[in-house]
Structures are given as structure tokens and as C-alpha cells.
Chain A
């Protein structure tokens, strides 16, 4: 119960602070700004709404053209998706945004040849005022000549022209075949569009198309593990040093035992960290769902396997607990923040090594060294996570590494609580390693 009192106080102390609230809200904004803003701009340009007025002198093409282009055709949806994908792949390379996803809206204007100039004048004005994208004139002998006229402000948008072209060709072919009394289903088969699935070859290997997205997400999560351990681990350390400096520790120890105090402290601070990450996760996924339509294809479907999310949750929490015991020891044996900084170095090395290895191991997560290192409890959080995200890790390996971590944490908590118990009451000279070792042997 008393552990809860301590947890409550620690959480309150961190979470109610202005710095926490501002940091929590601002960090994702900055992240989005840095990572996604260029893509957002790119994605937005690539999207076009094209309202096209159709002057159809054949009187028979418009309806079919409308269904084809507005995406109500039978196999049109798939084609459209595919096309979007195609276009986006290109848009990615040509950042000028000439091409993009096009949402067509077609309207028919029935008229006669005499009235045409008058109507055209009106339509041209509408193009000028951007009310419509452009207008299409389909001459009476379209089926024979296969010629149409598109008048628009931007006639360089290849995607628009390509879409209209293929739709009209399909309609013309269809009409021709109908005339020849081809059976309905045969016509369907003959005019079926071709769908091309693209697979990228890199370094002689096939790559999944959403790899960049997956890579980014995994990197963000590894950075998150690293950052949270570092930030909140240091919070544990500073909080212990501060309590020592403020001479509060002894009063606390007259109410609770050192183990409860220790556990309450790291759990409370960890809980505050967890609250922050959960808020970020909600913001991230909320934003992700909201913005998904604007995002370029390479970010779409940017989801690592559900297993990787579970691994993230487990290793995030276990990793924090494991490292916070080290930070707590550093705090307990120091009298000032400066002194604690010295103990920080070895911890930092232990933290940065797997961080660096994890990035290089994304390319080759099955590397034997990476596999072996991922079982070292202090490396497990980041390395095992990367392995789970990018390679198929046997379940027993996953469980083994988790069990190893939990055992190490239990062991570390006992060691840390013991050093903590003696260290937090020792003021004055900083103990050396030999003394710390002697403390461990004390009852």
C-alpha cells in the first residue's frame, strides 16, 4: 500500500509540471514537423480534383465515360488504386507534383454546334476562376476518328490525359465490339484493363513496397525506447540525489523500508514515462489515421507486425526497469548531480551500444552476432525488438530473452536496493567500487 503512496507522489510530481505537459504536446509536433511535413506537402500536391465538363456530340459516350472516370466501373476501383500507387511512385521522384491522384467529376452539357462558341466562352471563364478543371469536346464521329479535344488550364497533367485516354479507348472499343454483336461477357474480357503490380529490386533482392514505412516506424520505436530509458532513468537518478541533498531520505526510511521506497520510486517515475508514451501513441495513431489520406504511399500500410508491437511494449517496460536500477545505484552513491554524471558514463555506453547496433542490424537482423547479443539483457530491449520487427524470431528465443531480462531485473533490484539502502544514508566522501562491493556483503 505504501508503495502506492510513493508511486502516486512521484507520478504527480512529474506529470503536473508545466514542462511535462509542454514537452508531451510539443515533441510529437516537432517529430511530425521534421519527418512528415515534406511528405505532407508532396502528398497534397499529388492530389487533384478534376471537374470536367463534357460536350458530347455523339450523345452516347458521356454516361459510360462518367462511370469509368468517376470510378464506378467494374474493375475500375482496383485499377484506380493501382494507378494511384503508380502515380505516387513517380510523384515521389518528380517533386514538382505534375501528376497525382485524380478525383474526376464529370458533367454533361448538351448543346448544338451553333451555340458552341457561346458556351465555350462561358466555360473558359469558369476555368479562369478555377470552378472547373477543363472541358472535353467529343465530336460526332468520335468512334471513327477517335479524336477528342481537351481544353484546360493545365494540359501538362499526364495523369489526367492518360486516364481520359484509356477510358475513351475502352468505350470506343466496347462500342465497336457491340456493333459486331460480340457477346457481352466476351466484350468484358476483351476490354479488361491490365494491372501491373510493381516489385522493387534492390541489391538483387525483392523488397516489400512499404519497407520505408516499416523502417521508419521501427526506428521511431527504437529511438523511443532509447529516449525514454535515458530521460526517465536520469530522472530516477536525479530524484534520488535530490532527495539525499534535501535530507528527506531518512524521514522516508523511518516510514517505509528501503526496498519499498526504491520500488515505489522507479515504478512511479516509470509510470509517468508510460503516461507520456501512451499520450504520444494516441496522438500518433490519431494523427496517422486522420492524415493517412494525405500520406504518400510509402507511409501507407507502414505497420510492423503485431508481434513487434507486443515486443515493443514488453521490452520498453522491462528495459526501463532494468536500466533504472543502474541509474538508481548511480544516484544512491552520489552526493551531487556532478558526481552522478561520472557514474552515468558506463551506463550510457551500455545504452548507446545496442542503440547503434540496432540500426545496423535492421539491414541484416539474422546476423549471428546480433542474434547472440540480443540475449544480453541490457541489449535485449533494442536488439530483440529490431529482430522481431525485421526477421522472424522463433517464439522460444523471444520468451527466453524475456525471461532472462526478468531474472536480471529481479537480481538487479535486489543489488540496487541494497546499495540504495546504504548509499542513500551516506553523505560526504563518494564511495569507490570496493566500498560499494563491501556494502553488498552487509546484512
Chain B
């Protein structure tokens, strides 16, 4: 069942078209990513979804119903620009945000205790936010968005500014909430995270939908004859570049991602490399990553 439907949505700020006829759907219980470069309109889309700003035209449906104020209680939101009240205690912060989501004070307190315990910050429960380290504050911030066990979770650039440890914690939280049946939507421009998590994505650029679908679908659609090669001598890539069937080379020092024409067999490619006398440490046929697809599409858009 579709949990969220966004249909032909438009939003302009003055002369700038932030969102241009955007449409996509999110299935219940799935993790969905909105990808796109900075300024693509991700945050505007998310804010419209939460009714923080109204769309100029188009339709946004949650459970097939237009937005009502009451729905905010079932949504958890972590904005890109985040912060907490510095002078408020951890306990009071969590209870405040919980109560704002319609929880009763004792419910909020109980849930706050459980979550703080889970992330190992129990000792800090009665401390002021300003006394916590940045990493701890980030953890508390996550909890504020899910303390009320929402069935829709919306994270705007959740991984920006997180250290690896907190990134892991957030990934765990997201997967745990998915297990509980929550539908999760998040935006990011860091595609590695998206790839690990998402069931479906929408790629937007300049407010326009560039690509939409499940991860599998997209991979199939953009499947390519793609190889990952590691060479011994750095200059040998010049030789590879001369092969007539090479479509594209992305170099990472001694490592390359190479796309070749579809009809060329891997054995032929490998044979050619060996015949050229290039020493290789690794030769691997790979699936296109989300990043490959993304970069490809972005480049096409530029043209």
C-alpha cells in the first residue's frame, strides 16, 4: 500500500522554481531515499510533505488523505538544520518534544528513558544539553524525532556532520524502526549510505524528477558492462584508454572503474589487457552502484 503519494507538486520562491512537477510514491514499511545535489529541492519537498510550507499546486497524500494537522503526531522529523535548547536538560528536552507529538507526560518520560538507555546515555539524563559533547547531542537529536514511535519518519540529510560511530547508530535506528513497520523517507547526497539502506529512490535535480523506482529496477535499467580493475603500474592506464570499446574510465589512482561496450565479453577484455603487458592485481565485473547511475544521470542532465 502506498503510504505517501506526491503528485505534480510545484513550489516557487519568487522567480526560482524550487520544485517542478514532482511526483513519486512511497510504499508502506519501506525505506525511501530522495537523492540530488545541493539546491535540488529536497528540503523544500520534505517541508511541503510536513506542511511546514504549502505547495503552490499539486497534491500530497498520506494514507490517501490530504494533510491534516493531526498527522504530525504520527510523523517523526529530523531537519537538516538541527539544534536543541542548550539550557534544557536531556530529560526535559525529550519529554518536551514527545509531548508536542501528543504523548502524555508519563508516556514521554518512559519512552525517553528507554531510548536513552538504548544508546547508553542514561547517566546524562539529568544533565543540560550544553554539557553534552557534540556526538551525544546528535544522538539525543535522533531520539527527539522518534520518541513517539512514529509510523512515518522523515530525515533530511541525516548523515551530514555525523562521525562514523553515530552514523552506525543512526543506521541501526532506521533499520530498527523499519522492522517495527515505520515508513522512512530520507534525503541525502551521500549515496553510499543510501545504497545500504534504501528500497526505493527518487533522484531530483533542479526540482525535477530525474529517476524514480526501486533500487532493483533502477539497477536493471542502468545495468552496464562495468569492471573494477587494479593495476600495478600507475601509468599503464594510458594503454587501457586506447582500447576501442572503452566507454568510460573513472580513475581512483591505481584503481579504475571502466565501462565498456555491451557486446564485448569479459574474457576478451581481460585477454586484451594481458596482451598489452599490463600487470593487474584485480579484475572484477561489478554492478553499477547508485553513485555510478547518479553521476551518469547528472552529467546527462548538464548536457
Chain A residues in the interface with B (C-beta under 8 A)? 1-2, 5-6, 9, 12-13, 245-248, 250-257, 425, 427, 443
Task: Check: B72 CB closer than 8 A to any chain A CB.
Answer: yes
| Chain A: CB-nearest residue to B78 | A251
Query: B28-70, CB under 8 A of A: which get 1 and which 0?
Result: 0000000000000000000100101110000000000000010
19 extra A-B contacts, CB within 8 A, seeds A248-B84, A254-B77: A2-B100, A5-B96, A13-B87, A13-B88, A246-B85, A247-B81, A248-B83, A250-B47, A250-B77, A250-B82, A251-B77, A251-B78, A251-B97, A252-B100, A254-B50, A254-B75, A255-B73, A257-B69, A427-B81
Chain B, 198-232, CB within 8 A of any chain A CB: none
| Chain A: CB-nearest residue to B154 | A254
Out of B54, B79, B85, B96, which one reaches A254, CB within 8 Å? B79
Interchain nearest-CB distance for B92 vs A (Å): 8
Q: How far is the CA of A425 from the CA of B101 in the complex (A)?
A: 20
Interchain nearest-CB distance for B273 vs A (Å): 52
Interchain nearest-CB distance for A245 vs B (Å): 8
Task: Check: B102 CB closer than 8 A to any chain A CB.
Answer: yes
- The answer to whether B85 and A255 touch across the interface, beta carbons within 8 angstroms, is no
Interchain nearest-CB distance for A252 vs B (Å): 7
Q: Which B residues touch A5, using CB under 8 A?
A: 96, 99-100
- The answer to whether A246 and B100 touch across the interface, beta carbons within 8 angstroms, is no
Out of B52, B85, B86, which one reaches A425, CB within 8 Å? B52
- The answer to whether B52 and A251 touch across the interface, beta carbons within 8 angstroms, is no
Task: Check: B144 CB closer than 8 A to any chain A CB.
Answer: yes
With A248-B83, A248-B85 in contact, is A443–B54 under 8 Å at CB?
yes
Interchain nearest-CB distance for B48 vs A (Å): 12
With A2-B102, A13-B88, A251-B144 in contact, is A246–B96 under 8 Å at CB?
no
Q: How far is the CA of A12 from the CA of B87 in the complex (A)?
A: 11
Chain B residues in the interface with A (C-beta under 8 A)? 47, 50, 52-54, 69, 72-73, 75, 77-79, 81-88, 92, 96-97, 99-102, 144-145, 154
Out of A9, A13, A247, A255, which one reaches B82, CB within 8 Å? A247
Q: How far is the CA of A252 from the CA of B50 in the complex (A)?
A: 11
| Chain A: CB-nearest residue to B82 | A247
Please give me the 3 A-B residue pairs with the lowest Cβ-Cβ distance, nearest first. Answer: A247-B83, A254-B77, A246-B83
A-B contact pairs, 23 of them (CB 8 A): A5-B96, A5-B99, A5-B100, A6-B100, A9-B96, A12-B92, A13-B87, A245-B83, A246-B84, A246-B86, A247-B79, A247-B81, A248-B84, A250-B47, A251-B78, A251-B79, A251-B82, A251-B145, A252-B100, A253-B50, A255-B72, A255-B97, A443-B54
Most buried by B among A5, A9, A427: A5
Q: Which B residues touch A246, using CB under 8 A?
A: 83-86
| Chain A: CB-nearest residue to B51 | A257
With A13-B88, A246-B86, A248-B83 in contact, is A255–B54 under 8 Å at CB?
no
Q: Which A residues touch B144, using CB under 8 A?
A: 251
- The answer to whether A254 and B52 touch across the interface, beta carbons within 8 angstroms, is yes
Q: Which B residues touch A255, using CB under 8 A?
A: 72-73, 97, 100-101
Interchain nearest-CB distance for B194 vs A (Å): 22
Q: Which A residues touch B83, using CB under 8 A?
A: 245-248
Q: Which A residues touch B145, using CB under 8 A?
A: 251
- The answer to whether B52 and A256 touch across the interface, beta carbons within 8 angstroms, is no
Interchain nearest-CB distance for B118 vs A (Å): 21
Q: Which A residues touch B85, using CB under 8 A?
A: 13, 246, 248
Most buried by B among A250, A253, A255, A443: A255
- The answer to whether B53 and A425 touch across the interface, beta carbons within 8 angstroms, is yes
Q: Which B residues touch A245, using CB under 8 A?
A: 83
Q: Which B residues touch A251, using CB under 8 A?
A: 77-79, 82, 97, 144-145
| Chain A: CB-nearest residue to B49 | A254
With A246-B85, A247-B79 in contact, is A256–B54 under 8 Å at CB?
no
- The answer to whether A250 and B79 touch across the interface, beta carbons within 8 angstroms, is yes
Q: Which A residues touch B52, using CB under 8 A?
A: 250, 253-254, 425
Q: How far is the CA of A247 from the CA of B77 in the complex (A)?
A: 13
Interchain nearest-CB distance for B107 vs A (Å): 13
- The answer to whether A254 and B81 touch across the interface, beta carbons within 8 angstroms, is no
Interchain nearest-CB distance for A227 vs B (Å): 24
Q: Which A residues touch B77, using CB under 8 A?
A: 250-251, 254
Q: Which B residues touch A253, using CB under 8 A?
A: 50, 52
Q: Which A residues touch B47, using CB under 8 A?
A: 250, 425
| Chain B: CB-nearest residue to A256 | B100
Q: How far is the CA of A175 from the CA of B82 in the complex (A)?
A: 95
| Chain B: CB-nearest residue to A17 | B87
| Chain B: CB-nearest residue to A251 | B79
Q: How far is the CA of A1 from the CA of B105 in the complex (A)?
A: 12
- The answer to whether B72 and A254 touch across the interface, beta carbons within 8 angstroms, is yes
| Chain A: CB-nearest residue to B145 | A251
Interchain nearest-CB distance for A176 vs B (Å): 83
Q: How far is the CA of A425 from the CA of B78 in the complex (A)?
A: 15
Q: How far is the CA of A248 from the CA of B79 in the complex (A)?
A: 9
| Chain B: CB-nearest residue to A424 | B52
Q: Which B residues touch A252, using CB under 8 A?
A: 100
Q: Which B residues touch A443, using CB under 8 A?
A: 54
Q: How far is the CA of A35 from the CA of B81 in the complex (A)?
A: 50
Q: How far is the CA of A315 from the CA of B37 in the complex (A)?
A: 53
Q: How far is the CA of A250 from the CA of B75 in the complex (A)?
A: 13
Q: Which A residues touch B78, using CB under 8 A?
A: 251
Interchain nearest-CB distance for A220 vs B (Å): 32
With A13-B87, A425-B52 in contact, is A250–B96 under 8 Å at CB?
no
Q: Which A residues touch B73, using CB under 8 A?
A: 255
| Chain B: CB-nearest residue to A252 | B100
Q: How far is the CA of A255 from the CA of B100 in the complex (A)?
A: 6
Q: How far is the CA of A327 from the CA of B296 in the complex (A)?
A: 50
Interchain nearest-CB distance for A268 vs B (Å): 12
Q: Which A residues touch B97, using CB under 8 A?
A: 251, 255
With A2-B100, A2-B102, A255-B97 in contact, is A250–B69 under 8 Å at CB?
no
Q: How far is the CA of A83 from the CA of B265 in the complex (A)?
A: 123
Q: How far is the CA of A5 from the CA of B99 in the complex (A)?
A: 7
Interchain nearest-CB distance for A3 vs B (Å): 10
Q: Which B residues touch A254, using CB under 8 A?
A: 50, 52, 72, 75, 77, 79, 154
